[in-house]
Amino acid sequence: MDMETVKCLIIGGGPAGYTAAIYGARADMAPVLYEGLQPGGQLTTTTDIENYPGFENGIGGQALMETMKAQAMRLGADLRVGTVTSADLSERPFKITVDGDREILAETLIIATGATAKYLGLPSETRFKGLGVSACATCDGFFYRRKTVAVVGGGDTACEEATYLAGLCRKVYMIVRRDVLRASQAMQERVMATENIEILWNCNTQEILGDDAGVTGARLVRKDGEVFDIAVDGFFLAIGHHPNSELFSQWVKVDKEGYIITDGKTSRTNVDGVFAAGDVQDPLYRQAITAAASGCRAALDAEKFIKMQ
């Protein structure tokens, strides 16, 4: 087996990982970053990003990530294609295996593996991803101004996304599979008080309808068996996210949803020398800018840790 020792290993090629690489490189930690299965992370599945400061006219998700990556490389970070397949964090240096056959010993580790939005699993969902199907209202809602959209889910995220979209769109349907919302009372009240939100109770989505130009509607089935179509231009998933922490959760403390627990305002985990950044430790904000900021913190924390050894 190939063996290599690195000062700072970063796992994850999203805004958190790339920013950690930028800061790590400038701090002479010679960071090595493995991008994983989806280089660029979740942002590469969105179109234009208009809320990332510094880009007056917005920037494409893919382009933003390529720019971050190029910046990290220019500063000397070693960015590699590869997926971490196992991790042993029982002692330092940590033992990380990439693609099943490359072993790396890491003095410090920054976990920036992100989260994955849950999808319903319909073939039509895959067909229209980026063509009307989205799992991020703050990313894509703007493109549905004065249009009609649907949001699937009944949790806090769904309510938050529905009220956000209601401010932009003509009408918002919430597709809720039970006859109650899971969301907090306050969020439920906000939804109920919003005139252009209509909740379709006891409904599941059977199919997303559309043509070559994108989504045109959704076919729903009510608990009593009735099947009916609604006309929508956008279809938003808000049925939860899944943090990609499984590989590490044997050592690193996670909450009941699997999000890595960090210490106060820092990126420190319960394992000395292991830091977490981005969506894998953030169930709340999930923005490119907050992920990038936490990547910065993780690199600074790792630098401090190394200096104190």
Query: What are the residues binding ligand NDP (CB under 6 A)?
Result: 120, 152-158, 160, 177-178, 182, 239-240, 283
**Which tokens is 156 given?**
């806090």
Closest alpha carbon to 34 in 15, 7, 8, 12: 12
Smallest gap from Cβ 131 to ligand NDP, in A, equals 21
CB of 152 to ligand NDP, least distance (A): 5
Residue 114 Rama label (left phi>0; alpha psi -120 to 50; beta): left
Question: Considering only CA atoms, which of 285, 299, 301, 168 is closest in space to residue 234?
Answer: 168
Whole-number Å distance between alpha carbons of 72 and 301: 18
**Smaller CB separation from ligand NDP, 110 or 136:** 136
Active site includes 8?
no
- The least CB distance from residue 176 to ligand NDP, in Å, is 7
Give the separation between CA 257 and CA 259, rounded to whole angstroms: 6
The catalytic position among 2, 28, 48, 140 is 140
Q: Which is nearer to ligand NDP, 178 or 222 (CB)?
A: 178
Question: Quick one: which of 241, 198, 240 has its CA closest to 220?
Answer: 198
Cβ distance to ligand NDP smaller for residue 95 or 182: 182
**Which member of 139, 159, 169, 203 is catalytic?**
139
**Both tokens of residue 250?**
């044997």
Nearer to ligand NDP, 36 or 154 (CB): 154
Place of tokens 């979209």: 165
For residue 168, which amino acid is it? L
The nearest distance, CB 217 to ligand NDP, in angstroms, is 17
Specify whether 159 is catalytic: no
DSSP annotation string for 205-220:
EEEEEEETTEEEEEEE
**Active-site residue, selected from the candidate residues 136, 159, 169, 203:** 136
- Rounded to the nearest whole angstrom, what is the least distance from the CB of residue 277 to ligand NDP in the complex? 19
Reply yes or no on whether 140 is catalytic.
yes
Q: Which residue is nearest to ligand NDP (CB)?
A: 155
**How many CA within 13 A on the CB side of residue 48?**
10
User: 46 and 92 in contact (C-beta within 8 Å)?
Assistant: no
CB nearer ligand NDP, residue 68 or residue 260: 260
Closest CA relative to residue 274, chosen from 259, 285, 263:
263
- Residues belonging to the active site: 136, 139-140
